[in-house]
Amino acid sequence: MKHIEEAIRKSGDLTSIEVVEGVSGGSINEAYYVRTKDREYFAKSNSSAPEDFFHAEKDGLELLGRHGVSVPEPLLILSQGNRESVFLMEWIRSVPLSNEGDRALGSLVASLHQKKENFAGLHQANFIGELDQLNEPSTDWVTFFRDQRLGRMQNLARKKGKLTKERDQRLSKLRQRLDAIIGHQPDFSLLHGDLWGGNWLMTDEGPYLIDPAVYYGDREIDIAFTYLFGGYSKAFYDQYQADFPLEKEFTDRLPIYQLYYLLVHLILFGESYGSAVDRILQKYTF
């Protein structure tokens, strides 16, 4: 509470703080709704986050915003020593979901994916969850995904003891065969990067995206993640396909792109994700 109040004061709001309530939904940060006499805020707190953790999120929100995506306005990051302890942003009031809202989200994501760059990656690293996400620019998508996505998570998982010998060997074999498995060289679309169902909000003004892990890459990886934990609505997928149709071979690549996120979850949350990782590895390796 002390740090949240300090952040609000440093943002220029000197009015009385009337409400501070915990907000559920995330697994990495503590989150709060804060209301002062003058305005409402959303505050994230994480005293153990890596250096520049919240700055990377702020940069991602601002990049999405520059490309016409509705995002919460970043207001202030409060640092304590060399750690960022509070990220203060505007409060976005959500409304109940509907088919109309899901279609609007489909159009928003399709529009996002039509923002292109001539390389995969980004000009800075960022984070997926609390794990650092490498983004060294590359003009070859398979090389980028093999080394900076699957390879990076393989190394982290190995160091943290999350890979059995067979799992490690199969992942190495899959990476060796990745060019044939992916089988295309996509355009490099602007990606949200962490597009599970909890990272968007519906408002009276339309959908907002939150908690990005942005970079440029194959748009199919964003869509693959939407299917991972139950999927989005039919209205979302129908509208996305109407606005920006996917290649028919997308379903062949979907498990490969989901593997990245499953490895992230295996590292962060443990062996409950191991069987899903193993099923994908067994599907593509012998």
For the annotated catalytic residues, the residue numbers are 194
State the amino acid at position 132 in one-letter form. Answer: D
Q: For tokens 């990495």, what's the residue?
A: 28
Distance CA 8, CA 86 (A): 10
In angstroms, the Cα distances linking 250 to 22, 37, 256 are 39, 50, 10
Cα-Cα-Cα-Cα dihedral sign, residues 263, 277, 112, 102? negative
Which residues partner with 126 through β-bridges?
Answer: 133
Contacts for 164 with CB less than 8 Å, ≥ 6 apart: none
State the amino acid at position 214 in one-letter form. Answer: V
Name all contacts of 143-148 with Cβ < 8 Å and 24+ positions apart.
144/120, 144/217, 145/120, 145/178, 145/182, 145/217, 145/218, 145/221, 145/260, 146/175, 146/178, 148/121
Selection from 222, 223, 52 nearest residue 125 by Cα: 52
